[in-house]
Structure 1
Amino acid sequence: MSKPKPKRMPPLSFMKDVPDGKRKTRRIFWAVEASDYLDDNERGFQYAAELFAHMEETGYSFLVNFIIRDMIAAGRFGGVEIEFIERIGQYAKLGYQVATPCARREGEA
């Protein structure tokens, strides 16, 4: 008896599935358009919050790799990308600040 094939996660709001000749669809992990710089900053913040909520729910932190890859491939680094990366950096810093003292205490035991 074979295992059922896992379902593909639905795309987050900043992702897009596009037709692909090789497979049914290919996912673009960073499919955003630029608009007003201040609006873009707000969207970047919202996208980062959406990503972290998804990672907390699923445990899938590997998505950041695909997002950054597609961000680079898009060849644009504007307000959305700046705020998105800024928020990821802030969240990573907070996680490090929480995890580091805990890791030190565990090592001392």
Structure 2
Amino acid sequence: MSNFSDVMDYLGLSQDEAASVLNTSAEEIVRWRNTNEAPPLHIWQSLVQMLDDVRRSAEEAAKSADLDHLEASDLNKVTLAMPSQMSSDLAGPKRAATALAVATLARVFV
């Protein structure tokens, strides 16, 4: 496995989704995931943008929670409004942002 593969897993992207959003072929995605061959710089830059979008979305979603009425038992069912930059059809990045937002909210109880 490669670091590229780890990023794809973190973002929850299938090889077809990754190929589509990164404007490359599924074969390239498979090769970068399974070998030490690194993708070109523009691919890494696109991934950095996606990771930044996930982080920003998580921060905004956590800020929108009602902390005054939040209890630890609510963390598993809290509904978070995701900002518009995460409005794509990709479920993986939304799940990553939700996980980060819930982790941020859980820190209230630590």
Establish whether TM, by shorter chain, passes 0.5.
no
Q: Greater helix percent: which structure?
A: 2
- Whose RCO is larger (CA < 8 A, sep 6+)? 2
Q: Which has the higher strand share?
A: 1
Q: TM-score, normalised by structure 2?
A: 0.34
The normalised TM-score by structure 1 is 0.34
